[in-house]
Amino acid sequence: MVDVSAKQATDRSAHARAVVHLPVSIAGHITGDEIETKKGPVFATAIIAGVMAAKKTADLIPMCHPLPLHHLEVRLERVA
């Protein structure tokens, strides 16, 4: 890796998007804003996974320096 300790901090932003298509059989299990399964709430688990992925970015991307996070938002939108 390259020594970046002398580099001035800069504000950066990143956006990621995922689209998941659910089969009609699963869509029938949606109650309110959640899908409850034997293993727990699906959407709540997806939000936790998104937060964990953002926090582990430096571990998941090769040659990436640790990135301090100042704001993180995970949004789930249901599109008909």
Q: At 80, is the pLDDT very low, low, confident or very high (cuts 50, 70, 90)?
A: low
Structurally, how many domains does the chain consist of? 1
* DSSP assignment letter at 54: H
Residues 6+ apart with CB under 8 A from 43: 33, 34, 35, 76
Least confident of 7-11, 48-52, 76-80: 76-80
Residue 80 maps to a domain: yes
**5 occurs within a structural domain:** no
Query: Which pair of structure tokens corresponds to residue 78?
Result: 């249901």
- Can you give the residue range of the structural domain that contains 62? 27-80
pLDDT value for 21: 83
Per the domain annotation, does 71 fall within a domain?
Answer: yes
Query: Averaged over 14-42, what is the pLDDT?
Result: 83
What is the percent of the chain where pLDDT is above 70?
A: 98
Q: Is residue 22 one of the residues assigned to a domain? A: no
